[in-house]
Chains A and B, each alone.
Chain A
Amino acid sequence: MPRSAVDRVHEVYATSYRRLVGQLTGVTGDPVEAEDAVMEAFARAVNSGRTFLAADNPEAWLRTVAVNVTRTRWRRNRFFRDVSHRLVAEEPYADLPDDRVALLAALRLLPAPQREAIALHHLADLPVHEVAEAGGAPVGTVKARLARGRAALAELLSELDTDESTERSPR
């Protein structure tokens, strides 16, 4: 592959890696799993050579690949999911504020398509049409997933909140 493609990936890696991990964390429900998916996307960018060079928006290209990696793993590999949940409390994310940890816990309980839509639209701030592109779904489908996801998430967050209050209250 031409040297310039590696240079381009290197350049984007320096500026976008952390932001992509932040965005993918909502999609995976786990920052450690997000790190791995984003790293895999960059590795694929290196191997794709000219395809990556031709991308109008390299960060969007990487995000789509990382979302696809996540989706494939989620579908195929229950073991990976279980391992990643054990890792979520590890450094450097152990000091995430409680409400963020609760949000991640609630996101993990959503069906994957809803989680993906909520994470990319409401957390990563992408417009609906970009969420649709990243997820390979029509805009109408993404809007329906957002509506269902918001309802489910509200319920899950209030349940988690109730559980926490019950644990905290004196017996």
Chain B
Amino acid sequence: MNPTDLPTDLPHEVARRTPQPGFDAVLERADSGRRRRRTSIASGLATAVVVAGVAAIAGAVVG
């Protein structure tokens, strides 16, 4: 296929039609991303504590 056969103005056609949300939408999304990351770190830490606790108890019982 010859690349010149492609309608290469597709990106411009799309860009021309794309609505641009206000910058607040970016800030809100960034904020929710930060919160999501904090939550997954906290839940990862909690899981690690539980696993370590169970391992310690199991070790004590076996020992």
Contact = CB atoms under 8 A, between A and B. Distances in A.
Nearest to A158: B1
B40 interface: no
B26 A96 contact: no
Interface in B14-58: 14-21, 23, 25-27, 29-30, 33-34
A100 B7 CA distance: 7
A70 B23 CA distance: 21
Given A39-B29, A122-B8, A22 B18 contact: yes
A18 B33 contact: no
A21 B26 contact: no
Contact of A35 (B18, B26, B27): B18
Contacts of B30: 42-44, 46-47
A39 B28 CA distance: 11
B10 A25 contact: yes
B24 to A, nearest CB: 10
Contact of A43 (B6, B13, B33): B33
